[in-house]
Amino acid sequence: MRVAAVLALYRGIGWGLKPLLPVFLGRRLKRGKEHPHRWRERLGVPGLPRPNGPLVWLHGASVGESLALLPLVAALRAARPDLVLLVTTGTVTSAALMGERLPPGVLHQFIPIDAPWAVDRFLAHWQPDLVLWTESDLWPTILTRLKARGTPAVLLNGRLSDRSFQRWQLAKPIIRHLLGCFSDVLARGEEDAARFRALGAVRVQAVGNLKLAADPLPVDGLALAEARALLGDRPIVVAASTHPGEEGLIAEAHRALLADFPDLLTIIAPRHPNRGPELAADLAAPCRSQGAGIPRGGLYIADTMGELGLWYRLARVAVIGGSFIPHGGQNPTEAARLGVPVLFGPHMENFRDESEGLLAEGRAQQVSEEALAATLTRLLRTQVPPRGAEISESNALTATLAVLLPRLPEKA
């Protein structure tokens, strides 16, 4: 089937589902997956008026992608204060974080569902002059509608995991068409750049990873001071962004370490905070969302949003979740940027460039399940208490700006 026919069928399904989508969103709303007051934005209904002036639309699908946009937002505001900047995300969690961290005057909306009527409503209201897309969240209707309108778009921090690359190779004509909607593809590294070229992208550059240029995770200074006063120099391990099947492994390693470190505190921050109460029950551990304060030792379930910066600043060692199961890992740079030694398991395919860079620099170690406890023991014996050091990396931001600044819309 030709690309045009496939995309026409996709759009037709979007039209056909129009009566059902409010019901679908209503069910997601009951599960906390949509914002109770802003869910209509997902249907393309604007939640804010459009200010006058040229508008740049930046999209980051979820928390990691949207946080990586923050340094770029600040740089664009400094270079072109006349621009209207609109940031879209797709999750309630990322929207909450953007509400806290976007500078005053920068707008946030939920990205519309990729159905023609929702996308057209969104674009008719916001009328972007330039679109900056991140990573690999490629929505056919949005991209093809932008191209039809003549709106330039740039793919930022482009990445293709092993799985995504293999899947797209089975549909090369479609991905070639979608990548053709971008005037430029700025990839995280040479491997990603080569994959984009192999799938048909034309103007591809490897400029580095914007996530490495992101600001260090924020922290409440008072909460940090109180936690350090409570915990002193005791050994603390933070297992961050864990997935089902990993928390038991962490708990087992914790028990194995108690003979050498009887005052050990292991903080488990699950990738999906709604799992916190269940984990607390399974592991017989206090749970932060249920009102439990930080204990002086044992296991602790840290299932609240926006506090990973606190936990990393307390940690002597960080264990990165999603890496001991075939998930592909989670972002290891947030801990490393705060000077915390990082451990991760054998599955870091989704963050290969980042993990390989940290391994080469001696800021991370890759371990098996069997070696986790022994490696933690060695690090806890040698690692000094955290000093809160922050490591800055801005090469990717500088290279990205060099490409974007000439492409910004003209002043009104």
Which residues are identified as catalytic?
65
What are the helix and strand counts (H, E) for the chain? 17, 13
Q: How many CA atoms lie within 13 A of 344 on its CB side?
A: 35
Best CA proximity match to 366, nearest among 351, 387, 381, 383: 351
Question: Alpha-carbon distance 325 to 92, whole Å?
Answer: 26
- Quickly count: other Cβ atoms within 10 Å of residue 216's Cβ: 17
Question: Roughly what angle, to the nearest 10 degrees, separates helices 162-169 and 172-179?
Answer: 110
Task: For 105, list phi and psi in degrees, rounded to 5.
Answer: 95, -20
For residues 347 and 349, give the distance between their C-alpha atoms in angstroms, rounded to a whole number.
Answer: 6
Q: Rounded to an integer, what distance in angstroms lies between the CA atom of residue 92 and that of residue 62?
A: 9
Compute the Cα dihedral for 299, 223, 337, 240 and give only its sign: positive
CB atoms within 10 A of CB 310: 23
Residue 253: count other Cβ atoms within 10 Å of its Cβ: 20
State which amino acid sits at residue 142: I
272: amino acid identity, one letter: H
d(CA 358, CA 342): 8
Strand partners, 365: 343
Give the strands of the sheet with 317-320, arranged side by side.
Answer: 298-301, 265-270, 236-242, 317-320, 342-344, 364-366
| Count of alpha carbons within 13 angstroms of residue 339, beta-carbon side | 11
Residue whose token pair is 């309630």: 92
CA distances from 382 to 235, 286, 317 (A): 11, 28, 11
Query: What does the alpha-carbon distance between residue 204 and residue 190 come to, in Å, rounded to a whole number?
Result: 10
